[in-house]
Chains A and B, each alone.
Chain A
Amino acid sequence: DTGVSQDPRHKITKRGQNVTFRCDPISEHNRLYWYRQTLGQGPEFLTYFQNEAQLEKSRLLSDRFSAERPKGSFSTLEIQRTEQGDSAMYLCASSLPGLATDTQYFGPGTRLTVL
């Protein structure tokens, strides 16, 4: 399968613990996005990478959140000192290096539950 992959698919953690999620975009897609989706809501933008450069971060991305994309391939999203309000589905998407309106292809998501 050559789609966007995310790991793990599910993560249960206790409040205060750190968690890290991984996203592998479609090969040759240099644009990579992270979104967060809470229950009953549409996804909300978190951050955007073009190659290895993080070019935009949402105000939703507090200091406890950090994202990286070393070498412009896979990306990681880390949440430090998790809170119950962090429970959500974390979605990754990638798109081609062409127009910004190019289709974003989404991964299956990582569902985080903070107890």
Chain B
Amino acid sequence: AQSVTQLDSHVSVSEGTPVLLRCNYSSSYSPSLFWYVQHPNKGLQLLLKYTSAATLVKGINGFEAEFKKSETSFHLTKPSAHMSDAAEYFCVVSEALRSNTGKLIFGQGTTLQVKP
């Protein structure tokens, strides 16, 4: 079965410093991987996705993630945190190749706190 593990439930950074949110995945198939962000009282928004093209994926708001098959990782990074980045972040794997439904399997989430 496919799954994702987010290695940190809470990450705190200072504004202007780099962000690293860690995610490991488990998949029997070539995975499709996503990062979604959820701001308080707002819907889930796609940050970026990997679907077997370039291993370094650039997303919105300066975020990027690198797919590393040898490490089964898909960590999310940003060079410089902004106060508006404070939110809940979810690493997600899709079962599209296994079942063709495209259902998403979410990690437990990482809360990003940005201090002034």
Please give the residue numbers on chain A whose beta carbons come within 8 Å of chain B beta carbons, in ascending order. Answer: 3-4, 31, 33, 35, 40-45, 48, 55-56, 91, 93, 95, 99-109
Contact = CB atoms under 8 A, between A and B. Distances in A.
A44 B95 CA distance: 13
B43 A45 contact: no
B105 A45 contact: yes
A108 B43 contact: yes
B99 A56 contact: yes
B46 interface: yes
Contacts of A42: 90, 92, 106-109
Nearest to B49: A103
A55 B101 contact: yes
7 contacts: A31-B102, A42-B108, A56-B99, A93-B44, A93-B104, A95-B102, A101-B96
Contact of B103 (A33, A102, A106, A107): A33
B94 interface: yes
Interface in B42-76: 42-46, 49, 51
A45 B107 CA distance: 12
Interface of B: 32, 36, 42-46, 49, 51, 90, 92, 94, 96-97, 99-109
A106 B43 contact: yes
Given A33-B102, A42-B109, 10 more contacts: A33-B104, A41-B108, A48-B102, A56-B103, A101-B96, A101-B102, A103-B49, A105-B46, A106-B43, A108-B43
Given A55-B101, A56-B101, A108-B43, A101 B106 contact: no
Contacts of B108: 40-42
A102 B45 CA distance: 14
Contact of B101 (A100, A106, A108): A100
Contacts of B45: 106
A35 B99 CA distance: 17
